[in-house]
Amino acid sequence: MTGGAVFPTSGRAAGPFAHSLARLIELAPRRDELPTLEPPLPWTSPSHRAPGLWPWPDDQDIDLNTIDGPAWIDQAGKGARDRLSLVAREGSPEPIVGHGDWYTANLRWRGHELHVAYDWDSVIAESEPVVVGLAAALYPATRGGTEATVEETQAFIDAYAVFRGHPFTRAQIEECWAAGLWNRSFDAKKQFAAQGQVRSLSQAEARERLRRAGAG
């Protein structure tokens, strides 16, 4: 299937993106109906078994743990990882099947309706807040950057809860923010390693996202 616009007619508004993700999750098979989805994609989960904070990138041949700084990126990544690890220790609900790279490059629209989604190599099995949090942090990004602002991320989480039919708990909302922050801090670390500059996250935004994740 081809064609379709990069954005819905409402542009960067979170509603269509959140609604389409909710519909996908509703239609997806159960985790036990699929073959293994291990190992987790590095940008979706900090639960890797390698030493150090950062997993090996999927698109760079470099150990990010050998890159010195910026300290605030490492602090953001560690805060996100620690928050998600706490959730895992407390006992996460049964994982759901979702899309781990839910953003404009992988989506095409006809009006407000999703026309097609690509990149099914990025199917993941994670808790619902993790799937939603990843999408909420990234959904309007283009190849040149322009990831979701803090306000857009909140709007996505809120819109998804409406389509879901009941609100997330405070702990689930924090898990959403932690998952999105892991994604953004991992991208930021890769950008610094490759280019010496960061596009996906600012220090002030990392601090606010950490606070919303209950980790700051």
Mean local confidence (pLDDT), 170-174: 95
Rounded Cα distance, 171 and 198, in Å? 29
Among 160, 139, 159, which Cα is nearest to 149's? Answer: 139
Supply 167's token pair.
Answer: 């609100």
50-54, 75-79, 104-108, 209-213, range with the lowest pLDDT:
50-54
pLDDT mean across residues, the chain: 93
Rounded Cα distance, 124 and 87, in Å? 18
The residues near 87 (Cβ < 8 Å, ≥ 6 apart) are 127, 171, 175, 178
User: From the centroid of its chain, how far is CA 34?
Assistant: 22
pLDDT of residue 92: 67
| CATH class for the domain made up of 14-31+67-212 | alpha beta
39 pLDDT tier (thresholds 50, 70, 90) = confident
**1 pLDDT more than 70:** no
37 pLDDT tier (thresholds 50, 70, 90) = confident
Mean local confidence (pLDDT), 139-152: 90
Mean local confidence (pLDDT), 143-161: 93
Rounded Cα distance, 125 and 154, in Å? 23
Write the pLDDT tens digit of every residue in 63-105: 999 999 899 999 999 999 999 998 877 776 789 999 999 999 9
